[in-house]
Amino acid sequence: MNEDELVRELIERVAGEIGLIIWDMRPKEELTDEEMSIILGIEINDIRRALFSLYEIGLAEYRRKRDEDTGWIEYYWKMRYDRQREVLRRELEKVREKLEEKIQYESENIHYMCENGCVKVRYEEAMELNFTCPRCGGRLEYLDVVNAIDKIRDEIRKIDEILMEL
């Protein structure tokens, strides 16, 4: 997957389809959220939600200006295409860190899972529940996490490969 595809995947995850539409506009100058809403034919609240999601990860920025006629504050938005690599790297590193924490948690704890897949609990809680599922009454069975940890390690390796290419 190349950098643009990864950024698009990130945008879709955090800002949805509307975030992708806004990103793909590639406006030459700043636009207000209202102008984007008119150009794209999308509700202004949906535009604002996507823009703020893009802002939160660093792919958009805005400046405020008071409209002299109405007194309302207008937001002028600019997409930060120049930051996509930096943002992508930061987000991948966050995911990698969470995966490392997941490996540590899974390695340090013994888990039991309902035979019907209802719940996953730590050993201590399984004992308190008398190895009975609190939802369906099924049996709580030992959960071997070796395969899950191996899959997480594979994901970390993939992220490391992507980070090396960025």
The predicted pLDDT at position 19 comes to 97
Q: What share of the chain is helix, strand, coil (3-state, %, to 5)?
A: 60, 15, 25
The predicted pLDDT at position 146 comes to 94
The predicted pLDDT at position 166 comes to 84
Q: Residue 101's domain spans which residues?
A: 86-165
pLDDT per residue as tens, the chain (166 positions): 788 999 999 999 999 999 999 999 998 899 999 999 999 999 999 999 999 999 999 999 999 999 899 999 999 999 999 999 999 999 999 999 999 999 999 999 999 999 999 999 999 999 999 999 999 999 999 999 999 999 999 999 999 999 999 8
CA distance 119 to 113: 6
Number of domains in the chain: 2
Asked whether the beta carbons of 45 and 52 are under 8 A apart, the reply is no
Angle of helix 3-25 versus helix 84-108 axis, rounded to 10 = 130
Among 79, 114, 138, residue at a domain's last position: 79
Asked whether the beta carbons of 122 and 58 are under 8 A apart, the reply is no
Instruction: Please indicate, yes or no, whether residues 23 and 93 belong to a single structural domain of this protein.
Output: no
Residue where the block lists tokens 């595809």: 5
Kindly report the CATH number assigned to the domain that includes residue 54: 1.10.10.10
Tell me whether strands 120-122 and 111-114 are parallel, antiparallel or unpaired: antiparallel
Instruction: Please indicate, yes or no, whether residues 17 and 51 belong to a single structural domain of this protein.
Output: yes
Among 43, 64, 79, residue at a domain's last position: 79
